[in-house]
Structures are given as structure tokens and as C-alpha cells.
Amino acid sequence: MRIYVCVKHVPDTGAYIALTGKTSYDESVKFVINPFDEYGVEQAVRTVEQRGEGEVVIVTVGKDAAEAAIRSALALGAHRGILVRTGQAFLDSGQTSRALQKAIEMDGRPDLVLMGRQSADVEGMQTPYRLAAALGMPVATNVVSIDIRKDRAIVEREMEDGSREVMEMTMPCVVGTTKGINEPRSPRLVEMIKAKNKEIRRIDITDLSVEDSATGAELVELTRPPERSRAVMLQGDPQEMAVELVRQLRQSRVL
């Protein structure tokens, strides 16, 4: 079984993002593997471990620094990686998906493709769908459970109210993972050392000819959200503060 896991290299959400231009930001902040993708890597590695056979291949579209995300995934137990190199900080989802599709199909025959349901930077929530369309596979995201039968996958999607939609898909398929599907392992030192010697193949995105796959969505400007003005700190004992809060909220018609 060959499982491809698409991972993205994204700024740590705890980091302060300094905007440096109309559509650029200071990329010297700490970057990590997209948290949602980590669930996908863990799921792929567990699946192969449980079956006693198979290969987990990491595919990433990103700048050279994105190799770090692949190494993180390799340290979690993935076998090898492919980096599709781009010079752009923000890449159109249509082009990203086409690049992932071509890189995967050039590499081998996928049985399953996993990725996070969204990236922590642009929160597009659409690459899994575009990738699936390019691969000709069915797709489900926000998945919290995957059960692989012979040529079908039974997945459970978590809905807003906590209910679960149970769906059957033909294999191979694309699945967008989210929190709740598993608990990613902490990489042990021995795995981190092994990861350094695992293969990462590099492809340049210009060699994949994905320009025509651009969707037409264009980032025009990045801005800082307006800060809230200084908070009104209420005074007094709990009863006094509570009464004052209710009074203020009713007066300003919030309540």
C-alpha cells in the first residue's frame, strides 16, 4: 500500500506575523508542519504499521525551507519525501493541487492520499478537493475516522453539532484529516536522526507546467485586523462586577 501525505510548511500560529509589504510578510518567523497535516502523517504511518507493509510518501509544495516540514514528517515515520519547489509565499490552490497531482502520478500509484482539512496560514479549505478532481478520485474532509476495507474506505466526518456523517468511498481516495482522528506521536530522537538520511526528491514547479491551472483568485492585500480599544476593567466584588456588567451590556443594547 502506498500512501501519499501532502503537507504544508506554515508559520507557527503562535508567532507574531509582521507584514512587510502589500502581500508579503516576514518569513523569518518560526515555521512548522501544518498541524492538520500532522494528523494525516500519523494516520498514514499507523496504517502502514498495522498492515505490516506499505510506504508513506510525503509531498510538499513550498520554498526550499519547506524541506523542514518534510523532515518532521519523516521523523514521524514516513519513508521518503518529494519537495516541489516554488519561490512564491502564496500559491494559487489550483496550481498547488495540479503540482501535487503531477508529482504524485510521476512518482507512483497512490492507494490513498491524505492531507489536513485546511492549512493554518491561508485557511483555503479547498486544495483536497482540487487535488481529488485532478486525480479523478473521491474526496471527503473534516474526517475523524478512516476504516480501509479491500477497495473501499469508510470515513466519518464530524459535523458542527458533533454528529458524524458516515460515508463510503471507492479507493483510491483523498481524505482531509482533522483533530480527533488520532493523537500524533512525539518523534523520538532515533527517528529524528534516521529522518536525516531518508530521501527527499526535489522538483521545480516550473518543470511541472501548472500555470494553466490557476483559478483566478488573487491576494490583493494583507492588513492587520483592527485592535480592540482598551478594555473597561470592572471593579468591586463579584456581585458588584456582575451587576455592573449586565447594566452596561443592557445599556449598549448588547443584551
Nearest to 105 by CA among 70, 74, 134, 71: 134
Cβ neighbors of 20 (< 8 A, separation 6 or more) are 26
For the segment 216-255, give every residue that binds another protein (CB under 8 A).
216-225, 228, 231-234, 237-239, 241-243, 245-246, 248-249, 252, 254-255
* CA 36/CA 39 separation, integer angstroms: 6
Closer residue to another protein in complex, CB, 74/132: 132
Q: Give the one residue of 122, 191, 192, 194 binding another protein; rule: CB under 8 A.
A: 122
Binding string to another protein for residues 40 to 79, with x set by CB under 8 A, is what?
Answer: ----------------------------------------
91 sits near another protein (criterion: CB under 8 A):
no
Residues between 94 and 113 with contacts to another protein, criterion CB under 8 A: 94
Could you say which of 45, 58, 140, 175 contacts another protein (CB under 8 A)? 140
- Burial class (CB within 10 angstroms; exposed 0-12, middle 13-18, buried 19+) of 251: exposed
What's the rounded Cα separation, in Å, for the pair 96 and 101? 9
Binding characters for another protein, 22-41, by CB under 8 A (x = yes) = ---x---------xx-----
DSSP state of 184: P
Q: Determine contact, residues 136/110, Cβ cutoff 8 Å.
A: no
- Residues from 163 through 182 that contact another protein (CB under 8 A): 163-170, 173, 178-180
